[in-house]
A and B are shown apart, each in its own frame.
Chain A
Amino acid sequence: MEWVPKRWKPSKTRSPREVCSLRNESKVGYNLLMSAPPQNRDEMNENSPPEYAVRMENITKRFPGVVANQQVALRVQAGAFHAVIGENGAGKSTLLNILYGRYQPDSGRVFLHGREVTQSLHSPADAIRNGVGMVSQHYALIPALTVLENVLLGAEPTGFGGVLKCRAAITRIHELANQLQIASLDVNQRADSLSVAAQQKVEILKALYRGANTLLLDEPTATLAPQEAESLFTLLRNLVEKGTTVLFVTHKLREVAAHSHAVTVLRAGQNAGDFITSETNEAELLHCMIGARSNSAGQPLIPFGDVTETEGYAGDTWAATRPAVSGSPLLQIEAVTVRNSRRVEVVKSATLELMHGEIVGVAGVDGSGQRDLAEAILGLQTVSIGKIFLEGSEITRDTVAQRYQKGVAYIPEDRHRSGMILDFSVTENYTLGHHRQDNWGGGTLIHPPIMTAHTAAMIQQYDVRISELGALIPARSLSGGNQQKIVVARAMQSAPKLLIACQPTRGLDVEAARFVYRTLEQARREGLGILLFSLDLEEILQLSDRVAVMFNGRIVTVLSTAQATPEEIGAWMTGAKTGGTEA
C-alpha cells in the first residue's frame, strides 16, 4: 500500500446526543455537513468520539484465488450521503456485503455507531438488528410473494401460535410509503408485478420498516433509466435529511458528484483515497479510481483512449470516426412478437433493421424484453408472429445451429449460465457449438488434438491468462475477464456476419471491458453488423451508430447519434415519450 490516504474528520466533535439532535433538525445537519468541511484531515485521532455510523478498519477478505479486500478502511459519518466508488472488481460489493453480514472478513474490525460488532456480525440478521438495511443488486424481493409478505419477512408481527397479525403492519407500511412518496402501493400485489424501480423502493421501505438507520445500496442505478435514477436519489436525499445514513456503491462518477457528501475510492481491493465531494472533481476521482493506467485526467470511463492511440483513431467516440454505412440490410426484424412460456407477450411487434458495419445499441430498463428479442433472433425463443431475415433470406423458423451456420454469433448476457459450462475444460468450452464443424474435425466424432490446437491458438491470440495446467482446467477456475475472453473469442471464431452482444462487459474490470470494446470495434470495421443490448447507457451512447429503445416489450423509437442524449433515451425508456417508429 503505497498510497497516502486523504482521510478527513469533522472539525467539531459531537456527542452521540448531538448527533441525534442533528437528525431531528435535519436541514441543519445536512447544511452543517456540506458547508463546514472538516479541518486537519490528515490528522488521525483514534480516540475521537464515535460519530461514525460505520467504521471499518483493516478489512481483508479472500476468496479462493482472489483477494477481494486488502486492508480496507471505510469511515462513514452518521447522517451522511456516502459513496464508495471503484471499477468492477475493485472490491466495493464485497465490502458492502461484509458490512451487511453476508461475508465474514478474514481480518479487520467493524464498528457501527462507535460500537464494535466484528464478532457479532455473522449474518444479515445481525446487521438488521444493528440498524443496517441493504438494497442489493441481485437478490431483491422474492417474486412470488406479495409486497406485504416481502416487507414482513424476517420481522413478522405474530400473535398466538405464530399467526401473522398484519393490520398494524399494513398501516405502518402505508405511512412509510407516503413518506417515501410511493404512490398507490397495493401491499397484496405480487412483487414481480412491480417495475424494477418500484421494487427497489419497496426494498428501501422494507429496510426502514425494520428500523434501519444505515442504508446500503449496491449499484442502485445499474438497471434504472436516468429519470428513475434521479427520482431514487431524490428519495434518498430526503432520507438523509431525516437523519438516515446512506452508503451507496457505484461506478458512475456523475452520481457521486451530484449527490454524495463524501467518497471512498477503492482500487484493486485496496483504499485509493477518501474525498469530500465538494472539494474534489470527477477528474481527480477518476484518476484515483483507475490509477496509473489513466494517462490524462478527464478520460472517459470507457477506455477509448487506448483504442484511439493504438488503432490510429481520433475523436471521443467511434461513431465520429466511422465510415458511412451503406448497402443492403444485414438483419431485418419485421413485426416480431414473442410469447414466453406463460403465453405472455414479452416482445410486441418489434421492427428493426441493421446494416453491415453498423452497431445498433438497444437500450431499455431491465426486463423490457431485450433478452427475449435477442433470444428470438438466435432462435432460442420461438417467434409467434413476424419474420426475421438475415441478408434477405428468412431465418424465422431455422434452428439455433442453422442460424450459427448462416453467420449469426452470440455473446450471451449470463456468462455462467448461458455462456459457458463451468465444469467443462477451457478447450471443451471453446469448442462448444463448433464441435460438429469440419475445420474442428467435427461430424460424428470429435478430435481432441484439433480442439486443443484451436484453443492454444485462441489463448495466444486473445492473451487468456490460464495457469500452467493449461487448457484442461475447468473454466470455473478462470477469472471473469478470462472467461468472457473465451466467450467472445468463440463467438468470433466462425467468421460471423451478425453479432448479438448482450451486456458484453457486465461485471468485467476495465481491462477486460477494453478487450471487448476493441473486439467489437474490430468486428465492425470488418463489416459485421452488431446488435448491442446493454443496460449501461454510457456504453450504448459511446459505441452505437444508432440507438433503439425498448419499453414494455416494444421498440418505441430508433434514434440517431445526434438525437440520442441520455435524457431523450431516458424519456423513451420510461414510457414518458411514446409513439415513434411503431405504427
Chain B
Amino acid sequence: MKLSLNSQSNLFRAVLSILAGFVIVGVLLKMSGYSPLQCYQALAEGATGIRSGKPINLSDRGFYIGSWQGNFSPYTFAQTLATITPLLFCGLAIALGLRAGLFNIGALGQMTLGAMTAAFVGAIGAHGSLKPVAGSLPHWAHVPLALLAGAVAGGLWGALAGYLKAKRGVHEVLSTIMLNYIALNLANYLAMHNLKDPNPSNMAAQTGLIAKSAWLTPIVAQSSLTVGLLLAVAAAVGVAFLLWRTALGYEIRAVGLGAEAARTAGIPVSQILIKTMAMSGALAGVAGALEVMGIHHRFVQGTAGDYGFDGIAVALLGGSHPFGIVLSASFFGALGNGANFMQIQTDVPKTIAVVVQAIIVLLVGLRFRRTESAKPLVLAEKEGRKDG
C-alpha cells in the first residue's frame, strides 16, 4: 500500500486534535459544574468495560453491564465494539467519496434505506403479515441476501446523488442532505403504513420482526456485537485494495485529485462519480442492514441514528485512509459508548460527545500554510531554476 510521506505528521495532528477536543470540552464541563476528571473516568470505563477505583454498582441506575469478570465487563466492551461497526462502515463510505472528491453527507439516508430494505427481505418466512415471499430461507442464504439487499438499496440511493452530480451538476452536499430527509420520511412512512408491525398494540412506526433465519447472533451474550464487526474490518481491507490495487480505484483517486487531468487522460469522470457514490451508498446500506439484523431485528424509527454524520468525523480523523479509519472508528466508537455510560453515571448529557467530535473535525481540518508558498510554488516552477 502506498503510504504518504507525511502520514506521521497526520497521526500527530490527529492525536493533537483529540487531546485539544477533550481539553476544550473539559473546560465546558467544568464551567457547567461537572468534574471533568470524573466524567472522563466514567467515559473511559464505559469505553473499555474496565472499572477502575472503587467498584460501581450500576444496575440500580438502570444500566445493563452484564456479568463482571474481575474488573472487566465483557458486555460493556462488546457494546463499544458493536458501536464501532456502523461507524467503520459509514466512515469508509464517506472516505471513498472523499477519495473521488465527493462529500457524501447522505450516509444517513443510504443507511436508512439499507435498513428498511434488509428488514423487508429479512421478513421472508417470518410470521405475521409482512411476508414478501411465502416459504422460508436457510440461515446461510438469508443473511447474505438481506445484507445484499441493504447494500443494493443504499447503493442505488447513493448512485442517485452521484448521477445528479455527474450529469446535472447538483452539488452532492445539497442533494444528499435532501435525499436524507426524503429517505427518512419514506422509510418511516413505510414503517407506519404499508409495512407496519402487524401487532395492533404497537403504535410506533416500526416493521414487524424479521425471520430468525436473518438474525445475526451476538458474540457476547445480550450484546449487539455480531459478525458485522468482522465484515466492517474486511470492508476496510477491501476498500484499501480497491483504491490501490484496482484500475477503478486508481481512476477514483485520479478523479479526486485532478478531475480535469483524469478526463483528459480518457477516464470517464461521470461514470466514476456515479460508481463511487453507488459503492459509498452500498457500504452505508450494509451498516443499516446490520443494525436491523443484529440489534433491532426490525426496522424502527431512527435505526440509522447519527452514524451517517459521525462517519464524516470518522473519515476526516482517519485521513480518508481505510486503515486510519479503523483507528478513528474505534476511537469514536469508544467515545460514543463511553458517553452513554457517562450519562448514566454522572448525568452529563451524552450529546457532549458530539461537541468533542465537532472540535476534532474542525481541528483536524486546519491547514495553516505560510501565506506565500501556496500560489508561487507553481510560478516558481515556471520562473525559477532547480536549486541543486
Chain A residues within CB distance 8 Å of chain B: 62-68, 88-89, 91-94, 97, 103-104, 268-269, 378, 380, 399-401, 403-404, 410, 412, 414, 416-425, 428, 431-433, 435-436, 442-446, 465, 472, 476, 478-480, 483, 507, 509
- Given A400-B266, A424-B258, A432-B262 in contact, is the A63-B384 Cβ separation under 8 Å? yes
Is B250 positioned at the interface, with any CB of A under 8 Å from its CB?
A: yes
Q: Within 8 Å CB of B230, what residues of A?
A: none
Bound complex: CA A414 to CA B258 (Å) = 12
Contact with A along B29-51 (1 / 0, CB 8 A): 00000000000000000000000
Indicate if B268 sits at the interface (CB-CB under 8 A).
yes
By the criterion CB–CB under 8 Å, are B245 and A93 in contact?
no
B178 beta carbon closer than 8 Å to chain A: no
CB<8 Å pairs between A and B, sample of 9: A89-B384, A417-B260, A421-B257, A421-B261, A422-B257, A428-B254, A432-B254, A443-B247, A479-B385
* Nearest chain B CB to A374 CB, angstrom units: 11
Nearest-Cβ distance from residue B249 to partner chain A, whole angstroms: 8
Interface residues of B in 354-388 (CB under 8 A from A): 372-373, 376-387
Q: Mostly helix, strand, loop or mixed at chain B's interface?
A: helix
- Contact call A89/B246, Cβ cutoff below 8 A: no
With a cutoff of 8 Å between Cβ atoms, the chain B residues found around residue A436 in the complex are: 247
B265 within 8 A of A: yes
Residue among A63, A419, A432 making CB contact with B380, cutoff 8 Å: A63
Closest to B251 in A: A435
Task: Evaluate contact between A67 and B258: CB separation under 8 angstroms.
Answer: no
B264 in the interface (beta carbon within 8 A): yes
- In the bound assembly, the distance between CA atoms of A465 and B372 in angstroms comes to 26
Contact present for B257 and A424 (CB under 8 Å) = yes
Restricting to B226-273, which residues have a CB under 8 Å from any CB of A?
A: 245-251, 253-254, 257-258, 260-268
- Chain A residues contacting B251 (CB-CB under 8 Å) are 435
Q: Count residues of B near A (Cβ-Cβ below 8 Å).
A: 35
**B257 surroundings in chain A (CB, below 8 A):** 421-424
- Residue in contact with A444 in the complex, picked from B246, B253, B254, CB distance below 8 Å: B246
Q: How far is the CA of A103 from the CA of B377 in the complex (A)?
A: 12
Name A269's contact: one of B246, B268, B378, B384 (CB within 8 Å): B384
Contact between A418 and B261, CB atoms less than 8 A apart: yes
A68-B384, A94-B384 in contact; A399/B246 too (CB < 8 A)?
no
Given contacts A417-B258, A445-B247, contact A66 B264 (CB under 8 A): no
Q: Is there an interface contact between A446 and B384, defined as CB atoms closer than 8 Å?
A: no
Which chain A residues border B378 with CB–CB below 8 Å?
A: 416
Q: Which residues of A contact B384 (CB under 8 A)?
A: 63, 66-68, 89, 91, 94, 269
Closest to A401 in B: B266
Q: How far is the CB of B267 from chain A (nearest CB, A)?
A: 8
- Structural contact, A435 and B247, CB atoms closer than 8 A: yes
Residue from B262, B378, B381 whose CB has the most chain A CB atoms within 10 Å: B381
Q: Interface centre among A66, A104, A418, A433, by most B CB within 10 Å? A: A66
Q: Which of B260, B266, B267, B384 has the most CB of A within 10 A?
A: B384
A483 to B258, CA, bound (A): 15
Is the Cβ of A432 less than 8 Å from the Cβ of B386?
no
Given A68-B385, A424-B253, 8 more A-B residue pairs with CB atoms under 8 Å apart are A63-B373, A66-B381, A68-B383, A380-B263, A380-B264, A424-B257, A444-B246, A480-B381
Chain A residues with CB below 8 A from B383, complex form: 63, 66, 68, 89, 91-94
A421 touches B262 (CB 8 A): yes
B250 touches A410 (CB 8 A): no
> With A401-B266, A404-B266 known to touch, is A64 a contact of B386 (CB < 8 Å)?
no
| Chain B residues, CB < 8 A from A483 | 381
Given A421-B257, A424-B254, A445-B246: A103 in contact with B376 (beta carbons within 8 A): yes
User: Smallest CB–CB gap between B207 and chain A, Å?
Assistant: 39
Which chain B residues border A378 with CB–CB below 8 Å? Answer: 264
A444–B248 Cα distance when bound, in Å, is: 7
Least Cβ–Cβ distance between A350 and chain B, in angstroms: 21
Whether the Cβ atoms of A65 and B387 lie closer than 8 Å is yes
Are B246 and A65 in touch, CB under 8 angstroms?
A: no
| Best-buried of B245, B261, B387 by chain A (most CB within 10 Å) | B261
- A446 near B250 with CB under 8 A, answer yes
In the bound complex, CA of A412 to CA of B267 (Å): 15
Q: Which residues of B contact A443 (CB under 8 A)?
A: 247
Interface positions of B from 265 to 299, Cβ below 8 Å from A: 265-268
Which 8 pairs of residues, A with B, have the shortest CB-CB distance? A63-B380, A66-B384, A433-B265, A401-B266, A421-B258, A68-B384, A400-B266, A507-B382
Contacts A64-B377, A432-B254, A444-B246 given; indicate if A419 touches B264 (C-beta within 8 A). Answer: yes
Do the beta carbons of A63 and B265 come within 8 Å of each other? no
CB-CB under 8 A from B265, the residues of chain A are 400, 432-433
Minimum distance in angstroms from A107 CB to a CB of chain B: 15
**A67 CB, nearest partner CB in chain B, Å:** 5
CB proximity of B8 to chain A, nearest CB, Å: 16
Q: Are A66 and B386 in contact (CB under 8 A)?
A: yes
Cα A218 to Cα B387 with chains together (Å): 24
- Nearest CB of chain B from residue A376's CB, rounded to whole Å: 13
Per a CB cutoff under 8 Å, which of A399, A404, A428 touches B250? Answer: A428
Chain A contacts of B254 at CB under 8 A? Answer: 421, 424, 428, 432
> Whose C-beta in chain B lies nearest to the C-beta of A404?
B266
The residue that A479 contacts in the complex, of B260, B266, B379, B386, with Cβ under 8 A, is B386
Closest CB in chain A relative to B377 CB, distance in Å: 6
Q: Are B246 and A88 in contact (CB under 8 A)?
A: no
Shortest B250–chain A CB gap in Å is 5
Q: A64-B377, A428-B250, A445-B245 are in contact. Are A89 and B385 (CB under 8 A)?
A: yes
In the complex the two chains form, is B380's CB within 8 Å of A64's CB? yes
Instruction: Verify A435–B261 contact, CB threshold 8 A.
Output: no
- With contacts A446-B245, A479-B381 known, is A63 near B268, CB below 8 A? no
Give bound CA distance, A417 to B264, whole Å.
10
Tell me the bound Cα distance from A378 to B386 in angstroms.
33
Q: Which residues of B contact A64 (CB under 8 A)?
A: 373, 377, 380
B contact residues around A432 at 8 Å (CB): 254, 261-262, 265
Return chain B residues, CB-CB under 8 Å to A424. Answer: 253-254, 257-258
In the bound complex, CA of A66 to CA of B373 (Å): 12
CB distance from B14 to the nearest CB of A (A): 20
Tell me, in angstroms, the Cα distance from A436 to B266 when the chains sit together: 11
Q: Are B258 and A269 in contact (CB under 8 A)?
A: no
Residues of B within 8 A of A478 (CB): 381
| A419 (CB) vs chain B CBs: closest residue | B261
Q: Which of A97, A268, A421, A442 is the one whose CB lies under 8 Å from B385?
A: A268
In the complex the two chains form, is A66's CB within 8 Å of B380's CB?
yes
Q: How far is the CB of B288 from chain A (nearest CB, A)?
A: 28
> Are the C-beta atoms of A412 and B264 separated by less than 8 Å?
yes
Complex alpha-carbon distance, A498 and B385, angstroms = 32
Nearest A residue to B386 via CB reads: A479
**Which residues does chain B contribute within 8 Å of A67, judged by CB atoms?**
384-385, 387
Closest residue on chain A to residue B3 by CB atoms: A472
